[in-house]
Amino acid sequence: MAVTDRVQSPPPNTNQRASRDKSVKRLAFSQKVSKWDVKLSPYLYISPFFVLFAITGLFPLAYTAWVSLHSWNLIGGQGKFTGLENYEFVLAQPFFWNAVGNTFSIFLLSSVPQVVVAIAIAAVLDANLRAKTFWRMGVLVPFVVAPVAVGLIFNNLFADQAGLFNELLTGIGLDPVRWHSDSLASHAAIATMVNFRWTGYNALIFLAAMQAIPRDVYEAATIDGAGRLRQFFSVTVPMLRPTIIFVVITATIGGLQIFDEARVFDQAGLGGADRQWQTLTMYIWELGWGQRNFGRASAVAWLLFLIIVIIAMANFLITRRIATQGGRR
């Protein structure tokens, strides 16, 4: 009762004061909002990436780890908790180590020539050509072709008995290469498909970086009497170092996850009767979808993840070394 009374009979001048209070409060609120704006907005602006990453990257990663600790059937779903049994099993499998070897072999056969050839192509494209855009778009065409389509075309070329490559080889009196039997030959064939697809793409990245090199450096080199080749090795390549590192890292990640080209290399898609070209991702596929053992497949997926992390760290250390060396110059 007393409380209501007090409110009901305010002093005559409080009305004015209250309204002034209100406007002060409103000012304080808008200040607060602008303070939040300054403090929080940047995080809000970058949050879509992290939210998406959490949903599509982090969650699957954690869930895969969870699956790998269980016996888990593709259709039947979760079974009992088995701890590290799946990892033990997988690490004892000769097919696993074979797949590790194949993955690195195909990766090296594809990435190394790819980077070297891409730089060479970029250097040519950087020269003063007629119909520049045509040539530049031209190198990107293979990238537009779907990997499975590339696989189908190259399969025809690499067929052991009826393929074009072997017909050409026997035509000039050489022995045919056993593309689908010999391990290294199959790696070379698959690496060819990968290179066909990615070289042009990398060449364009190198080209962009080359065009960012200031032209006066070249002019200075020309005045110093450096020829085209000397300019390429002493000016272009050193100036491209950060781009080369970027391309090597993306090629590493892609190369260790190679799947499509190797999978369509024959009809069964398991990497050959003796697993001559079975990569780690194909081994995951075989375990998960062929044998329907999701637990073991997830264990391999996590081991692959760890391998990539190790390689990425090695890359990082090498990169830092190169960067500091570059600084000392």
Q: How far is the CB of 68 from another protein (least distance, A)?
A: 16
Q: How far is the CB of 33 from another protein (least distance, A)?
A: 23
Residue closer to another protein (CB basis): 197 or 296: 296
How many residues sit close enough to another protein to count as binding (CB under 8 A)? 29
Residues linked to residue 73 through DSSP beta bridges, in sequence order:
77, 293
Q: How far is the CB of 74 from another protein (least distance, A)?
A: 5
Buried b vs exposed e over 145-172: b needs ≥16 C-beta within 10 Å?
A: eebeebbeebbebbbeeebebbeeeeee
Task: Lay out the site mask for another protein across 70-89 (x = CB under 8 A, - = otherwise).
Answer: ----xxx-------------
Q: How far is the CB of 142 from another protein (least distance, A)?
A: 21
Residue closer to another protein (CB basis): 74 or 308: 74
Residue type, position 304, single letter: L
Residue closer to another protein (CB basis): 203 or 270: 270
Interacting residues with another protein between 254 and 273 (CB under 8 A): 266-270, 272-273
Q: How far is the CB of 323 from another protein (least distance, A)?
A: 44
Could you give phi then psi for residue 186, rounded to 5 degrees? -65, -35
Q: How far is the CB of 312 from another protein (least distance, A)?
A: 29
Interacting residues with another protein between 114 and 173 (CB under 8 A): 155-156, 159-163
Residue closer to another protein (CB basis): 75 or 172: 75
Interacting residues with another protein between 164 and 183 (CB under 8 A): 178, 180-181
The reply to whether 95 sits near another protein by the rule CB under 8 A is yes
Residue closer to another protein (CB basis): 195 or 276: 276
Is 200:142 a contact under the CB 8 Å cutoff? yes
Dig out the tokens for 27 from the structure. Answer: 């000012």
Residue closer to another protein (CB basis): 136 or 292: 292
Dig out the tokens for 252 from the structure. Answer: 């590493």
| Tokens 């080369």 found at | 244
The reply to whether 93 sits near another protein by the rule CB under 8 A is yes
Interacting residues with another protein between 178 and 237 (CB under 8 A): 178, 180-181
For another protein, which stretch binds (CB under 8 A), given 120-128, 204-212, 240-248, 290-298?
290-298
The reply to whether 276 sits near another protein by the rule CB under 8 A is yes
Residue closer to another protein (CB basis): 243 or 279: 279
Q: Which of 234, 290, 315, 322 binds another protein (CB under 8 A)?
A: 290
User: Which residues of the chain form contacts with another protein (CB under 8 A)?
Assistant: 74-76, 93-95, 155-156, 159-163, 178, 180-181, 266-270, 272-274, 276, 289-292
